[in-house]
Structure 1
Amino acid sequence: MSTRVLIQTADFDVSAEMDALRAQDLRVGAVCSFVGTVRDTQALTGQAQDEVQAMELEHYPGMTEKSIEAMIDEAHTRFDFYGARVVHRVGRLLPADQIVLVAVTSAHRGESFKACEFLMDYLKTQAPFWKKEQTPEGAHWVDARVSDDAALARWGIQSTNA
């Protein structure tokens, strides 16, 4: 079995990661993926948007990987898919840099889409990552968003963010 979770400072090659996920599994009929990137503005609903010059991501080594592995195991109890791969970057990132890849394989597209979306919703709210945005006004930590908690809630999971 290939590695399911990678936390790294280096950028990732989406095609290479997808190839590693699908490697030699002739059952795969569908691959669904999501790639998240750094925006150049803060995503503030109803407020002025500040320019984002950089984002710093921190994590809790060991705990982060275990948390994401548990997410994948939970997804397997809900959806019929073959494999999943999550690559998440940490460190200093600039606008347009890739932050995260979530990829899922299955026999048919429906299960891949659902599992990929579930994993991304879970990842946004439950994985132990901390984000700090650098703006012209200074640095600040990014708070959890109500919309991310709502996305997780539709799967029947309450966020631990308060």
Structure 2
Amino acid sequence: MTSSRRGTVLISIGGALAVAAYAVWGAVQITILTPLAAAPGLTLREIREEMAAVGESPSDAAVVIFLTLGVVFAAVVALIVIRARVQAGVAAVLFLALLMLGGPALFVASFGPGMALADTFGVAGGVSAPGVAPLYAVSAFAGVGCIVLGVALAVRSRPITVTI
């Protein structure tokens, strides 16, 4: 295996694992930590019982399904990138883009459960646990990295000609 191909494989595996870790941490934030922060002193079971009593649902299955889509996308991108022998830099841009899209996906996945918590406990909706800030930071840095690396790849691949 050439070093270029090895780089693509390592970036693809690392990128897919990073997306999976992002999704898992996001699901933990939405389904466990945010409800516990919204109703301090109550157990997760008590929170769910309170929500059910007022006709609200934490929507855990929807959160997991939605965030799992990102992991599936990452696995598919990894397979395509490896099989197509894409350059390592291009693979990196693709996985940075997936991590960047994690922010909007996290927002969408947390919307329903956040509203259910807000309606039940009179708190602000959305993911409010402190551990969510690093996820949004990862998305922001990935977006910047995607742009910077994309521009660097574009500049590197084009010959510079000067016409006078």
TM-score, normalization by structure 1? 0.30
Rg larger in 1 or in 2?
2
- More strand per residue: 1 or 2? 1
- More helix per residue: 1 or 2? 2
TM-score, normalization by structure 2? 0.29
